Structure 1
Amino acid sequence: MGRAKRRDLVRWHDRRVTREHVLIGATELAQRLKAGEQPTILDVRWQLAAPDGRAAYERGHIPGAVYVSLEGELSDHSVAGQGRHPLPSGRDVEAAARRWGLRTGTPVVVYDDWNRAGSARAWWVLTAAGIADVRILDGGLAAWTAAGGALQTGVVTPEPGDVTVAHDDLYAGARRTLTAAQAAGVPLLDARAPERFRGDVEPVDPVAGHIPGARNVPSTSLLADDGTFLPDADLIRLAGDDAVGAYCGSGVTAAVVVAALAAAGRDLALYPGSWSQWCCDPTRPVERG
């Protein structure tokens, strides 16, 4: 590799461009792997209709990638009253991250194959726990294969890692969050599909509608046709000037909005309980239309 190429592949944490602190392109990831760098790569396949992505992972994943279960490792379903995907504790994140092979000082790349939902959740959980240098593969698995990246089948079992987390309570961790009471009084972006926001349909939660005053910015509207995040100026325009936080059905796709705005230099809070927590209290107001 030529000297100019080596200069281009600077250390990950020496970058000063905000977008590059949140995202990494498939071509850059391939270059780094070819140059001998060994980031920890996590495959976070998850869809609302197919929450277990392990079988898809085993059929083909980025070489060296370790499968991460959003349902089992990036959520704690033993927690009551916090919506459908309660945040895990920092201690549980640390134990899982060590199983995935995360090591102190080693960069992490997270990816998925559906609208950046799984990777954004992983990015949010890991960075909220205080794990540094985590980036989302822009465009997901499709971008990797489109760039000519090879796939590996089967299961990767890494050597245990040694990473430590700085925050045990992710609701008060390194990223801003909102409680239901706080969400009631601030401008919010609702990341769900328009028909769910309006209350036309509600396939998951017991009540249809949205938090009064929220504005609908579907997480998919922040992505280009190829699944990559839109340019910064477009992300800022879509988010508007006054938004303080983001929510969705259960705190998963709202992380896509938070990540997108972080890439564009805006720090939004996440309402982790989201609509699934809000609508379960009959005293909370509901808006439709």
Structure 2
Amino acid sequence: MGTATIELGHAEREISTAELSGRIGEAGLAVVDVRPLPHFNGWRGAGEARGGHVPGAVALPAEWLSRLSDGDLQTFLADKGIAASAEVVVYGDGEDVSLFRDRLAEHVAAPVRSLVDGWPAWSADESLPVDRLPRYERLVHHGWLAELLAGGTPEAAPRGRFLLFHVNFGVPEEYADSHLPGALYLDTNVLESPRDWNRRSSEDLDAALRALGITSDTTVILYGRDTEGEANEKWPGRRAGQISAMRAALILTYAGVEDVRLLDGGYDAWVQGGHELETVPRVPHSVPSFGVDVPVRPEVIVDIGDAKRILADPDGAALVSVRTWNEHIGKVSGYNYIGPAGRIAGDVWGNCGTDAYHMQHYRNLDNTMRPYPEIAANWAEAGITPDKWVAFYCGTGWRASETWFYALLMGWSRIAVYDGGWWEWSRDPDANPIEAGEPADATA
């Protein structure tokens, strides 16, 4: 059902760059960026002097419109604070703005206007502020990768040698079925031990990286393939391709790889972008030396001692549970190989998705990373802020690795994953305090 709208004349349906720049942060004004999400994050589009977005803008790419029913769109507008605004300004690329503005006007009562000269004019004026994801270059998009694989030199191109990896947990047949051109296969089993799902020893990691042809100065680009699966399967983690890629990103960073990047949206984004796949098996060329001693960044993975130190300092630190609400309150353990249910006493709930192998709370409808201001706002509401020492945990480190990677992209400086997670903590409840049930001050 539509909403009664305020009719504007042609001139009133537009707003100038000068007017908008003077109204940034104004109460009741919603600014909506309908460009592709990579441009919102910081990548430059054609004709743009700078990537990024108008400070305070909400990301709602026009390409999502075809996926959203009227009901879904209304939910989006409410969740993003647009529905309750007094005025809406839309900016982006040409026809997308007109189409989006017209559809938006059917669902909000506020007047909807468009930025006259769009983002190119705003980005070209160095006096105007621009916000962006601080480390956006680590979250690459399919167009960028296609240009790189074709031999081009895209924005923020690797300075030297690069390798592309199709990542999953023990499913080489998925890689054999089809993968991105030139991609090698990376099985997470070479990075973590099936005994406890923690990272392997320094010696094992050094050997694994050398066998994969990775040195500390290699740019490593990772992606996974997400397919449908249920949590009660024998090995449901095999379905969580993008999470596995971020698990690899954490461990490679821990080991000492300087430039680790992730393809946003993974395999699906590449296919939906219209790019070709291949079935040619690629074999890595081993290297004699990783180049540095492993680990270079031991601080990005903490063990149980540090987890307890974090819990002892709630004002200056946070141990964040990246688990479902049912896991958090102890209704389920979340895993078919973990018996005890509950949570680490004193943790902070950071949410995740529907089960231990999905991250809908942190993803968009196209499986890309949720706009980072929304993630940061949700964290701030829970007391998870960049001034604190923050360690994320889940069952065995996979979901926690995804949130760690997002915090890394946002430029947070003291972030880690508690590798043992619920798997380790719950094995000794006498030494490790556990809680269950709904916290008195929490809502699901």
Instruction: Return the TM-score normalized by structure 2.
Output: 0.55
What per-residue deviation string (whole Å, max 9, x for no partner) do you get for residues 53-92 of structure 1? 211111011111111111x2110245xxxxx311112332
Structure 2: how far apart are the matches of 1:196 and 1:206?
12
Give the corresponding residue for 2:166. Answer: 43
1:91·1:168 contact (CA, 8 Å) conserved in 2?
yes
Number of corresponding residues: 265
Instruction: Kindly report which structure 2 residues correspond to 1:59-138, keeping only aligned pairs within 5 A, or say none.
Output: 59-70=177-188, 72-77=189-194, 84-103=196-215, 105-114=217-226, 116-138=242-264
Q: Pick one of 420, 432, 438 that aligns with 1:273.
A: 420
Give the corresponding residue for 1:168. Answer: 294
Give the corresponding residue for 2:410. Answer: 264
Q: 1:163 to 1:145 in 2, by over 3 A?
A: farther
Secondary structure of the equivalent of 2:165?
Answer: strand
Instruction: Kindly report which structure 2 residues correspond to 1:128-277, keeping only aligned pairs within 5 A, or say none.
Output: 128-162=254-288, 164=290, 166-169=292-295, 173=298, 175-179=300-304, 180-185=307-312, 186-202=317-333, 203-204=335-336, 205-219=338-352, 220=359, 221-240=361-380, 241-242=383-384, 244-267=390-413, 268-277=415-424
1:178·1:269 contact (CA, 8 Å) conserved in 2?
no
1:211·1:287 contact (CA, 8 Å) conserved in 2?
yes
Q: 1:104 to 1:271 in 2, by over 3 A?
A: closer
| Counterpart residue identity of residue 362, structure 2 | L
Secondary structure of the equivalent of 2:203?
Answer: helix
| Counterpart residue identity of residue 190, structure 2 | E
Q: 1:249 to 1:176 in 2, by over 3 A?
A: closer
Structure 2: how far apart are the matches of 1:122 and 1:165?
19
1:90·1:165 contact (CA, 8 Å) conserved in 2?
no
What per-residue deviation string (whole Å, max 9, x for no partner) do you get for residues 177-211 of structure 1? 24243354342221122222221112331210111
Structure 2: how far apart are the matches of 1:27 and 1:33?
10
Percent identity between the two aligned chains: 27
What per-residue deviation string (whole Å, max 9, x for no partner) do you get for residues 153-173 of structure 1? 152112223552544358x62
Give the corresponding residue for 2:429. Answer: 282
Structure 2: how far apart are the matches of 1:143 and 1:225?
12
Give the corresponding residue for 1:13. Answer: none
Q: 1:279 to 1:104 in 2, by over 3 A?
A: closer
Higher alpha-carbon deviation: 130-139 or 228-237 = 228-237
Higher alpha-carbon deviation: 175-184 or 265-274 = 175-184
2:133·2:372 contact (CA, 8 Å) conserved in 1?
no
| Counterpart residue identity of residue 235, structure 1 | I
Q: CA deviation at 1:237?
A: 1.2
What per-residue deviation string (whole Å, max 9, x for no partner) do you get for residues 107-160 of structure 1? 110111235211111110011111111101111111111111211115211222
| Counterpart residue identity of residue 181, structure 1 | K
1:235·1:264 contact (CA, 8 Å) conserved in 2?
no
Unaligned residue ranges in structure 2 (runs of 5+) = 1-44, 50-131, 154-160, 227-239, 353-358, 439-444
Secondary structure of the equivalent of 2:197?
Answer: coil
Secondary structure of the equivalent of 1:161?
Answer: coil
User: Structure 1 or 2: larger strand share?
Assistant: 2
Structure 2: how far apart are the matches of 1:224 and 1:69?
26
Secondary structure of the equivalent of 1:91?
Answer: helix
Structure 2: how far apart are the matches of 1:131 and 1:148?
31
Secondary structure of the equivalent of 2:344?
Answer: coil
Report the aligned-residue RMSD.
2.6
Q: 1:214 to 1:28 in 2, by over 3 A?
A: same
Q: CA deviation at 1:218?
A: 3.0
| Counterpart residue identity of residue 266, structure 1 | W
2:202·2:294 contact (CA, 8 Å) conserved in 1?
yes
Q: CA deviation at 1:20?
A: 2.6
Higher alpha-carbon deviation: 139-148 or 36-45 = 36-45
Instruction: Return the TM-score normalized by structure 1.
Output: 0.82
Q: 1:133 to 1:28 in 2, by over 3 A?
A: same
Q: 1:105 to 1:60 in 2, by over 3 A?
A: same
Structure 1: how far apart are the matches of 2:405 and 2:293?
19
Q: 1:161 to 1:152 in 2, by over 3 A?
A: farther
Structure 2: how far apart are the matches of 1:125 and 1:24?
19
Structure 1: how far apart are the matches of 2:435 and 2:363?
27
Q: 1:56 to 1:276 in 2, by over 3 A?
A: same
Secondary structure of the equivalent of 2:262?
Answer: strand
1:251·1:270 contact (CA, 8 Å) conserved in 2?
yes
Q: 1:227 to 1:39 in 2, by over 3 A?
A: same
Higher relative contact order (CA 8 A, sep 6+): 1
